[in-house]
């Protein structure tokens, strides 16, 4: 296979028009049905197969070959970032038709066009395509982020080093024109900060400068060649924990990661209490906004210090948060999110400067905030869908972000459904007698055999039980027969028969039956021990039934059985630490081989990193608003029956 000349063939406009007319007559512009086409299968998606890698991706009709390749981690040459100006993104359509576009006629000879050569960034797939991708001439870098996702680096931030001619009496172009003329593949505009710096920096640096551009906006000009220094910060703005990752945008690699508790904690542990705070106290909205900004500011200062990066070298931030966290950070009243019919002020937040979120980085740095699918399926879940490739992977996959509000997504790369299930605070340790957050001293792993084996965070004296410990202990108690399928502690005689070594740990504290996990010493008052009560088991049952009802209704809506699920992704700060075997045993996830249940990690943070590293991924997140269908559970007439069915433990 002979690749076309790297430079292509440039033709004058009149020739282009004449050739376009000719191509139209030949059927290259409006391809006839008899051409070697592969129509899509009615699923609403078309398939692009890239050679020689033989990798396929299913995309909505109209997606460009360039995007389809990018989404699949296939690198296509480009220096303009898909803007149609560099003409380096040459590919050959081997089967399926793509009409000749005006830019194609400028980039290729007539013979090349007849052989199927097209510019990938304008070639839209309206039917299945097989596409030959030539080896790279200019190799773009890619980074692996998310759950095994390869993302081709194409950040909104780009730096261009230029050496300009000094002005003369015969060349009195403005400073800005002198700079933008040298970067003619971008339609540059300049912000005021850049204009204020431009005259001084140009002259002090002998007209050898680096232009700092974000989305075609010149935000700064720096002396000399600073192209190697480009950074961004990805934030996962969680209700409980906030994580910041400083990324080197030239390589896609993380430079520093820090996390801390959200400073909004004093207003309440979950979104509802924080929304309530704004309804009861007119100053709370401001104070919650300030607390969010302080959290982001502190983390950004920490990652910059750790990564030895000047905050002024951070030119963009990305932020994924649930709808309430995003609204509060923007100072938008969250009250409508907390009361039926649960309406968001906007699905797609505006582009704001990072400084509007309290983050002190480059003054021209912007903040890219994730859009939300609904009041309870927010930008953090959109980021999670992006990071896990739920919209592209052809396997039937179930994504569960376990928390007070549990978000559930089911998809097979063609259809995606989502819902939210109110699981309550049990998984965060709330409403559990000895419950606590996953912090030092929390029991997070429990094994019951001849004795009780505990895994404690920080390897210290147990102080309480966190969510994963709660799921573990209940799963183990069901397994050894001390708790029956209805969630009830068995009678003493049954306990002695089922687990003689542990039966005496079943005891009474006050009027409540409990299972003692840890007692400081045998003489200590049982009330000072760490234990699991009958009521705690009930709380867990309600929480897991809410989640199981959510995924079972999504499966029903999808028309598939639980056994059809090929992978379950457990996400979120709690879900990621959950034991797959325990999750199966209590019925929190479908009854599947444990190898099909995987921890997805902090997918919201990964999605935020992807948005920073790739404009295409960011566009993919925006497209999810159209692709994901939200299923409201609360108005389902069968919700209560299903919920009751899910309360028991599988036996
Ligand atoms: Fe530059 Fe297509 S990517 S012209």
Write down the number of H helices and E strands in the chain: 19, 29
Quick one: pLDDT at residue 42? 42
The pLDDT of residue 35 is above 50: no
Residue range 406-414: average pLDDT? 94
**What's the CA-to-centroid distance between 87 and ligand 1, angstroms?**
5
Ligand 1 contact via 119 beta carbon (within 6 Å): yes
Residue range 339-345: average pLDDT? 92
Quick one: pLDDT at residue 62? 77
Ligand 1 contact via 84 beta carbon (within 6 Å): yes
**What's the CA-to-centroid distance between 603 and ligand 1, angstroms?**
31
Model pTM score: 0.77
Pocket test residue of 8, 75, 87, 102 for ligand 1, highest count of atoms within 8 A of CB: 87
Ligand 1 contact via 101 beta carbon (within 6 Å): no
**What's the CA-to-centroid distance between 562 and ligand 1, angstroms?**
44
Q: Ligand 1: which residue has its CA nearest to atom 3?
A: 82
Residue range 448-469: average pLDDT? 91
- The lowest-confidence range among 104-108, 436-440, 467-471, 551-555 is 436-440
Ligand 1 contact via 87 beta carbon (within 6 Å): yes
Ligand 1 contact via 85 beta carbon (within 6 Å): yes
Quick one: pLDDT at residue 9? 37
Report the 10 Å Cβ neighbour count for 227: 15
Residue range 85-92: average pLDDT? 88
Q: Which of 250, 245, 256, 388 is nearest to 319 (CA)?
A: 245
Pocket test residue of 74, 83, 91, 117 for ligand 1, highest count of atoms within 8 A of CB: 83
Pocket test residue of 69, 78, 136 for ligand 1, highest count of atoms within 8 A of CB: 78
Quick one: pLDDT at residue 29? 57
Given pLDDT bands bounded at 50, 70 and 90, which one contains residue 292?
A: very high
* Residue 244 contacts residue 234 (beta carbons within 8 Å): yes
Given pLDDT bands bounded at 50, 70 and 90, which one contains residue 149?
A: confident
Quick one: pLDDT at residue 43? 45
* Residue 458 contacts residue 441 (beta carbons within 8 Å): yes
Specify the ligand 1 atom closest to the Cα of 84: 4
The pLDDT of residue 39 is above 50: no
Quick one: pLDDT at residue 523? 80
**What's the CA-to-centroid distance between 118 and ligand 1, angstroms?**
10
* Those residues with Cβ within 8 angstroms of residue 95's Cβ, 6 or more apart along the chain or in another chain: 36, 37, 38, 128, 129, 130
Quick one: pLDDT at residue 575? 79
The pLDDT of residue 483 is above 60: yes
**Domains of the chain, each with CATH number or no CATH:** 13-132 (3.10.20.30), 157-223 (3.10.20.880), 231-379 (3.30.420.480), 390-425+540-645 (3.30.420.40), 426-535 (no CATH)
Ligand 1 contact via 89 beta carbon (within 6 Å): yes
Quick one: pLDDT at residue 558? 95
* Residue 90 contacts residue 5 (beta carbons within 8 Å): no
The pLDDT of residue 38 is above 50: no
The pLDDT of residue 227 is above 70: yes
Residues 96-146 pLDDT 10s: 999 998 899 889 999 999 999 999 989 999 899 999 998 866 555 677 677
Q: Which of 6, 38, 253 is nearest to 117 (CA)?
A: 6
**Tokens 């000094």 belong to which residue?**
166
In the chain, the percentage of residues whose pLDDT exceeds 70 is 90
Specify the ligand 1 atom closest to the Cα of 83: 1
The pLDDT of residue 207 is above 90: yes
Pocket test residue of 10, 88, 123, 186 for ligand 1, highest count of atoms within 8 A of CB: 88
The pLDDT of residue 395 is above 90: yes
Residues 565-616 pLDDT 10s: 999 999 877 777 788 899 999 999 999 998 899 888 789 999 999 999 999 8
Ligand 1 contact via 490 beta carbon (within 6 Å): no
Q: Please provide the average confidence, as pLDDT, over all residues in the chain.
A: 88
The pLDDT of residue 623 is above 50: yes
Quick one: pLDDT at residue 644? 94
- Rounded to 10 deg, the angle between the 379-388 and 323-330 helix axes is 120
């Amino acid at each position: 296979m002979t690749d076309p000349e790297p430079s292509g063939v440039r033709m004058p406009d009149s020739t282009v028009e004449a050739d376009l007319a000719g191509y139209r007559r030949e059927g290259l512009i409006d391809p006839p049905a008899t051409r070697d086409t592969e129509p899509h299968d009615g699923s609403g998606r078309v398939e692009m197969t890239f050679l020689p890698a033989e990798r396929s991706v299913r995309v909505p009709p109209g997606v460009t070959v360039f995007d389809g390749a990018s989404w699949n981690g296939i690198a296509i040459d480009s220096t303009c970032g898909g803007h149609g100006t560099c003409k380096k993104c040459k590919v050959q359509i081997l089967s399926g038709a793509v009409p000749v576009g005006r830019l194609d006629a400028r980039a290729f000879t007539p013979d090349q066009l007849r052989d199927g050569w097209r510019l990938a960034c304008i070639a839209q797939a309206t039917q299945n395509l097989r596409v030959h991708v030539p080896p790279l001439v200019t190799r773009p870098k890619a980074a692996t982020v998310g759950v095994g996702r390869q993302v081709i680096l194409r950040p909104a931030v780009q730096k261009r080093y230029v050496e300009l001619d000094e002005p003369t009496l015969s060349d009195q172009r403005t400073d800005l024109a002198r700079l933008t003329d040298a970067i003619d593949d971008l339609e540059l505009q300049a912000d005021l900060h850049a204009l204020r710096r431009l005259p001084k920096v140009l002259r002090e640096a002998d007209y050898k400068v680096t232009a700092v551009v974000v989305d075609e906006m010149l935000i700064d000009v720096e002396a000399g060649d600073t192209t190697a220094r480009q950074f961004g910060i990805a934030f996962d703005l969680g209700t409980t924990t906030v994580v910041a990752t400083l990324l080197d945008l030239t390589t896609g690699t993380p430079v520093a990661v820090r996390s801390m508790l959200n400073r909004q904690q004093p207003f309440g542990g979950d979104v509802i209490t924080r929304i309530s705070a704004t309804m009861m106290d007119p100053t709370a909205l401001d104070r919650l906004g300030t607390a969010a900004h302080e959290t982001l500011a502190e983390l950004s200062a920490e990652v910059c210090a750790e990564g030895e990066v000047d905050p002024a070298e951070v030119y963009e931030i990305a932020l994924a948060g649930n709808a309430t966290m995003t609204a509060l950070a923007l100072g938008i009243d969250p009250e409508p999110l907390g009361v039926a019919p649960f309406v968001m002020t906007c699905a797609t937040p505006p582009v704001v400067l990072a400084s509007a979120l309290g983050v002190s980085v480059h003054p021209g740095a912007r903040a890219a905030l994730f859009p939300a699918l609904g009041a309870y399926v927010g930008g953090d879940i959109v980021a999670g869908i992006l990071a896990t490739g739920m919209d592209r992977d052809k396997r039937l996959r179930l994504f569960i972000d376990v928390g007070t509000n549990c978000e559930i997504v089911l998809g097979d790369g063609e259809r995606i459904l989502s819902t939210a299930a109110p699981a309550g605070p049990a998984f965060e340790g709330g409403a559990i007698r000895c419950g606590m957050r996953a912090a030092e001293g929390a029991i997070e792993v429990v094994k019951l055999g001849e004795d009780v084996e505990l895994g404690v965070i920080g390897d210290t004296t147990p102080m309480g039980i966190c969510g994963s410990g709660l799921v573990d202990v209940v799963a183990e108690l069901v397994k050894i027969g001390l708790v029956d399928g209805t969630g009830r502690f068995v009678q003493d005689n049954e306990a002695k028969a089922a687990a003689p070594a542990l039966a005496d740990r079943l005891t009474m504290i006050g009027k409540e039956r409990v299972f003692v996990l840890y007692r400081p010493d045998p003489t200590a008052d049982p009330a000072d021990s760490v234990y699991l009560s009958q009521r705690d088991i009930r709380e867990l049952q309600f929480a897991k039934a809410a989640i199981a009802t959510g995924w079972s209704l999504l499966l029903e809506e999808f028309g598939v059985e639980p056994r059809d699920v090929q992978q379950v992704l457990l996400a979120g700060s709690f879900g990621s630490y959950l034991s797959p075997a325990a999750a199966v045993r209590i019925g929190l996830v479908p009854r599947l081989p444990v190898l099909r249940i995987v921890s997805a990690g902090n997918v919201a943070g990964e999605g935020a990193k992807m948005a920073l590293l790739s404009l295409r991924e960011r566009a993919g997140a925006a497209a999810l608003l159209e692709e994901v269908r939200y299923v409201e559970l609360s108005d389902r007439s069968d919700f209560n029956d299903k919920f009751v069915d899910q309360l028991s433990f599988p036996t």
